[in-house]
Structure 1
Amino acid sequence: MKNLVVDNGSYTVKCGFSGDQKSPQITANTVVRTRDGAIHTGNAYLSQHSQYSGMLFKRPHEQGNLTSWEIERPVWDIAFEELRVDAKDTRLILSETPFQLPQLSINTDQIVFEEYGFDSYYRAVPQALVDWVEHDEAEGENGVNSSEQKLTRKSTKKDVKPIKSNFSLIIDSGFNCTWIVPMLYNNVYWKGVRKFPLGGRAINGLLRELISFRHYDVSDEAVLINTIKESTCFMAQDYKKTLSNRSSHDCVFVLPDFKTTTTGYIRDDSTKRSKNSDDSEQQVLHLSDERFTPSEAFYHPEIIFNSSTSNSSKIHSSTFKNLTDLIVESLMTCPVATRPMLSANISIVGGTSKMKNFKERLSHELTSELPMDWTVRIRENRYDSIDMAWHGGVSLSEDDRLNDVCISKKEYFEHGPNWCQRQFGFKNQ
């Protein structure tokens, strides 16, 4: 029996067989239509360099919920075909967003058993799978103060022994939103789960508005905006101080001309020489505070509504909880004895968390909000932040306890579609 682990994210699908692969196969979770009307599924759009401008992306997730299997099914078909998946002899370990609507979860169960015909099946939230990954101990220079921690990858050192804690706080910042999930003894503490409705999509939207208002209209340039975000944006350690010195963070981004570049790049002396192009022929963006203002919405969500076109006075006068507030709220709902241990065992995962200074800023904000005698420690990931949940699913597949909690196809057809929801739903976990 093979174990297929699928981390079904809203931006990418990470899938692969446990034991056979050291890293997952990553497929873009989208269907793309180019300006010429052609449809591309998954990673196929990446090869259409001349069509990057004006691409229209349609994703199966809305507000974090898997709502469209008409889009998801072709993406899975391509990913499974490349892996040569034989569902009849395969056990599926699938990740699903927390608090998924029950009917949408039932739809997923039906697709898994009735359409694909997997032999057996286990469904869990990705943050619970992350907790199955053994972390390397990442202490500061004095072993306590997280503000002095070194965020270097220590997993390659032979003298570092992996440790596993019974208490951990998983902060998963993805494309659609950011989840705060406390884990107690490998179980999700559902009363403490919080959702911060900002992620990579929101940063892209704010960046698009700023550039369109100040420079050029890039409202139809989804690929370009994402490239600018990944190559230039960062999280300011102190927003007011960084804003007052924004000239020191100026950079020049060369827009694609589809001759020398199809994605654009940051111009410096080395790239200028390598491209051998005349400055007068280049269209460029001079970016300064655009590099760090969009990401500041994580700690000042009112930035989004102040920049919106809404005229509602109630929206502009409302108080919105930022990421730090929700993390503190999540900790305070947990049992009193576990709170300091959770703050000392924080794991940050997700694609948006790879933004420069993301971990350092969050550590600073939590240190200033939590009691002085608590340790705030962000633990070092053994794997890439994007595929931590997939590696956790691989670790789970090697545990004998999985045989006791997964559901077979025979059990599904005996008990009906609601059986998986009763076993895997958040109310019973």
Structure 2
Amino acid sequence: MGFSKPVVVIDNGSFNIKSGFACDNHPVSIFRNTVGRPKYLNGSYGKTPYEVYIGDAAVERSDELDLNYPVCRGKIVHWDNMERVWHHVFYRELKAAPEDRAVLLSCAPTTTMKDKVKCCEIFFETLNSPGLCVKPQSVLSLFGSGYTTGMSVDMGHDITEISPVYEGGSIEYAKMETNMSGHHLSEYIKESLLRRELNVDWNIDQVVQELKNKYVYVTKNSAVTRQQYMKTYKLPSGEEIDVSEEVFMAGELYFQPELVLHNKVNCLSLPDAILTSSLKCDSDLQPELFDAIVVHGGMRIPGIYKRLSRDLKLLLNRPVNIIQSTEAYAVAWMGGAVFAGSRESQRVWVSQKQFEEQGERIVRNRF
């Protein structure tokens, strides 16, 4: 199935949504996947006109808006708002008419067939797109790294998900979650700062976000000299505080959650989750999976690749290949762009006409 204009690629993330054209090598637009409505509506849509804010514009007005996040743990939970975000992507971000563009849409590996059909209904019946292809983010992340077999390690805002992929197909029964994500790191840092009863005449959420994005790190073997360990942070007020423990222990949450939280938690360390996921697969397949472990998602922590490689080698008693990327946050999108332009993708598109004639049946066949 050929299209006259470049395909639009949309990577639906819980925190950020990334979009662009398949002919490009990077997303055109990246913004917060959120919708804001005035608080005076009290959750109702209202009978009088009102302004709806989307993305970063909504976050900037969080004091006066009720924010809704359409995607939670990879699953679309609010379809009306998700439709608004997709409309915003076409008309405000990409400046492209949806009726002229086929769409490749990424989804979570656990997305149900019912949700895929709902995506088709919105893109074909509301946005009037000529074609749609829905692919799991785990598969696209492998494509974006130049592989078709391996393990996808998606380190997201509200979920860390490990998905084995074989020859471009996700092995769903072997999927694992660690129950530890970027959101948990933020909560740990925030609780630790509040516990110290510091002067909180500053925006603590802003401070936590900056510490998580710029200060958190992971050491190769969880050992560090005192000089390297000492970290200070300058508050907006000008006061300097010691954040050594927060930024060191936050990174260790991915590797030693019970040690950091001082109790038994319903979490797996990242290496244990990868090992468990691989053991669910056929033993003949496991060596191929370890040859391409693609770590991607919004969490970019210095040192995490070396630590993960070391811990997995100790667990498996064999070398592993951790695929690194300077643009790990966009790997799934780039995989979508690669797949949309490949000859193999022609077999899995659903056209508007096919959906009108066959409905759910064609979706089940193709997706």
Alignment TM-score, normalising by the size of structure 1: 0.74
Say if 1:10 and 1:29, in contact at 8 Å, map to a contact too.
Answer: yes
Q: 4+ residue runs of structure 1 moved beyond 6 angstroms? A: 33-39, 51-56
Partner of 1:334: 281
Find the residue that maps to 2:102 and give its secondary structure. strand
Deviation (angstroms), 1:73: 2.7
Aligned counterpart in structure 1 of residue 209 of structure 2, from 200, 222, 226: 226
**Distance in 2 between residues matched to 1:219 and 1:174, nearest whole Å:** 27
1:183 and 2:162 matched: no
Say if 2:90 and 2:98, in contact at 8 Å, map to a contact too.
Answer: no
**Distance in 2 between residues matched to 1:117 and 1:182, nearest whole Å:** 34
**Alignment map for 1:115-134 (pairs within 5 Å):** 115-134=126-145
Deviation (angstroms), 1:77: 2.5
1:324 and 2:271 matched: yes
Deviation (angstroms), 1:45: 5.0
Q: 1:127 and 1:318, CA in 2 relative to 1: closer, same or farther beyond 3 A?
A: closer
Q: 1:33 and 1:11, CA in 2 relative to 1: closer, same or farther beyond 3 A?
A: same
Deviation (angstroms), 1:180: 1.2
**Distance in 2 between residues matched to 1:69 and 1:26, nearest whole Å:** 20
Instruction: Give, as a single letter, the amino acid of the residue that structure 1 aligns with 2:276.
Output: E
Say if 1:247 and 1:288, in contact at 8 Å, map to a contact too.
Answer: no
Instruction: Give, as a single letter, the amino acid of the residue that structure 2 aligns with 1:126.
Output: Q
**Alignment map for 1:97-136 (pairs within 5 Å):** 97-135=108-146
Aligned counterpart in structure 2 of residue 413 of structure 1, from 352, 356, 360: 356
Instruction: Give, as a single letter, the amino acid of the residue that structure 2 aligns with 1:180.
Output: I
Alignment TM-score, normalising by the size of structure 2: 0.85
Deviation (angstroms), 1:250: 2.4
Instruction: Give, as a single letter, the amino acid of the residue that structure 2 aligns with 1:296.
Output: E
**Distance in 2 between residues matched to 1:359 and 1:185, nearest whole Å:** 24
**Distance in 2 between residues matched to 1:219 and 1:107, nearest whole Å:** 43
**Distance in 1 between residues matched to 2:193 and 2:83, nearest whole Å:** 35
Partner of 1:261: none
Deviation (angstroms), 1:419: 4.0
Say if 1:42 and 1:78, in contact at 8 Å, map to a contact too.
Answer: no
**Distance in 1 between residues matched to 2:251 and 2:13, nearest whole Å:** 21
Say if 2:142 and 2:149, in contact at 8 Å, map to a contact too.
Answer: no
Say if 1:24 and 1:390, in contact at 8 Å, map to a contact too.
Answer: no
Aligned counterpart in structure 1 of residue 21 of structure 2, from 17, 22, 29: 17
Instruction: Give, as a single letter, the amino acid of the residue that structure 2 aligns with 1:365.
Output: D
Deviation (angstroms), 1:134: 4.7
Say if 1:31 and 1:42, in contact at 8 Å, map to a contact too.
Answer: yes
Partner of 2:71: 61
Find the residue that maps to 2:132 and give its secondary structure. strand
1:249 and 2:259 matched: no
Deviation readout 1:85-115 (Å, 9 max, x if unpaired): 2222211100001112443333322212221
Say if 1:167 and 1:338, in contact at 8 Å, map to a contact too.
Answer: no
Q: 1:320 and 1:231, CA in 2 relative to 1: closer, same or farther beyond 3 A?
A: closer
Say if 1:344 and 1:376, in contact at 8 Å, map to a contact too.
Answer: yes
Instruction: Give, as a single letter, the amino acid of the residue that structure 2 aligns with 1:253.
Output: Y
**Distance in 2 between residues matched to 1:199 and 1:30, nearest whole Å:** 19
Partner of 2:56: 43
**Alignment map for 1:158-169 (pairs within 5 Å):** 164=147, 166-169=148-151
**Distance in 2 between residues matched to 1:369 and 1:285, nearest whole Å:** 38
1:375 and 2:319 matched: yes
**Distance in 1 between residues matched to 2:265 and 2:194, nearest whole Å:** 27
Say if 1:211 and 1:217, in contact at 8 Å, map to a contact too.
Answer: no
Say if 2:179 and 2:267, in contact at 8 Å, map to a contact too.
Answer: no
Aligned counterpart in structure 1 of residue 240 of structure 2, from 260, 277, 284: 284
Deviation (angstroms), 1:5: 0.5
**Distance in 2 between residues matched to 1:293 and 1:219, nearest whole Å:** 23
Find the residue that maps to 2:144 and give its secondary structure. coil
Gaps of at least 5 residues in structure 1 are: 136-163, 258-281, 307-315, 425-429
Identify which range, 109-118 or 70-79, moves more after superposition. 70-79
What is the aligned length? 352
Q: 1:228 and 1:422, CA in 2 relative to 1: closer, same or farther beyond 3 A?
A: same
**Distance in 1 between residues matched to 2:203 and 2:52, nearest whole Å:** 17
Q: 1:228 and 1:57, CA in 2 relative to 1: closer, same or farther beyond 3 A?
A: farther
Find the residue that maps to 2:343 and give its secondary structure. coil
- Among all aligned residue pairs of Structure 1 and Structure 2, give the percentage whose two residues are the same amino acid: 22
Say if 1:53 and 1:221, in contact at 8 Å, map to a contact too.
Answer: no
Q: 1:223 and 1:61, CA in 2 relative to 1: closer, same or farther beyond 3 A?
A: farther
Deviation (angstroms), 1:223: 3.4
Partner of 1:309: none
